[in-house]
Amino acid sequence: MSVITILEQFFMNNGALGVFLGSILEQIIAPIPSSVVVLGSSFFIMKGDIFSLGAMKTLFLNVAIPAATGVTLGSLVYYGLSYNIGTPFIERAGKYLGVSVDDVEGVEKRVKESNYENLFLFFARCLPIIPSIAISLFCGLIKYPLRNYLIITFFGALVQATILAVVGWQVGNVYITLADQISFLNDIIAIIIVLGIIFYIIKKKREK
């Protein structure tokens, strides 16, 4: 069974719940590339659907909202640890998470330069300007109010998830069109995905 088939079965069988759980894991487990769950789930859940208001509603309810909720809850793990333990946690666990104290201090510097803390953090969540885990650790470290953190994280992640979901959906439609013409495209895509994951993990290990 190919990687694509396994992913397709998972998201088709679990739908919004699968996106929600996958997004939580994506935030907690460092080697999982950010946004891979949204791109993959929208690719399969919206497979073959044409662009319409009804399809956008399905995308929003089954991908964007579950993803944003999962990201918000998953990010609380590192927010809470950083909030309660502080810099010592980042120093000890950072090498396993792919982030350092310098990275978190870099976030602080950029926030101060922006002069608009809440707005900057919101846009940082909307767009992949800064790694998600660095934002969570920073917010915990400065004891950023939990209520503000939840609001900014959810709505920022919702914007990002919606954008990525549309991209994954439309790429899926292009894939279907090409697959009808090129029978071996499934194998090519599967190989690319596997090699991409291996390359990502090796790169992270070398960086550490």
The per-residue DSSP string of the chain comes to --HHHHHHHHHHHHHHHHHHHHHHHHHH-TTSPTTHHHHHHHHHHTTTPPSSHHHHHHHIIIIIHHHHHHHHHHHHHHHHHHHHH-HHHHHHHHHHHT--HHHHHHHHHHHHHHS-HHHHHHHHHHTTTS-HHHHHHHHHHTT--HHHHHHHHHHHHHHHHHHHHHHHHHHHHHHHHHHHH-TTHHHHHHHHHHHHHHHHHHHHHHH-
Q: CA 43, CA 152: separation in Å to the nearest integer? A: 26
What average pLDDT does the chain have? Answer: 78
Q: Which token pair is 192? A: 């690319």
Q: Distance between CA atoms of 121 and 142, rounded to whole angstroms?
A: 13
**Interval 92-98 mean pLDDT:** 75
Q: What is the pLDDT of residues 111-158, one digit of tens each?
A: 777 767 788 888 888 887 777 888 888 888 888 899 999 999 999 999
**pLDDT in the model for residue 1:** 45
Higher pLDDT, 71 or 86: 71
* More reliable by pLDDT, 96 or 45: 45
pLDDT in the model for residue 71: 92
> Identity (one letter) of the amino acid at 56?
M
pTM score, two decimals?
A: 0.74
Determine the Cα angle at 127 with ends 5 and 167, to 5°: 35
CB contact at 8 A, 71 and 26:
yes
Measured distance CA(12)–CA(62) in Å, rounded: 11
Q: Which pair of tokens denotes residue 23?
A: 């997004």
> How many angstroms separate the Cα of 95 from the Cα of each of 26, 86, 88, 136, 138?
17, 15, 12, 16, 16
Region 23-42: what's the mean pLDDT? 77
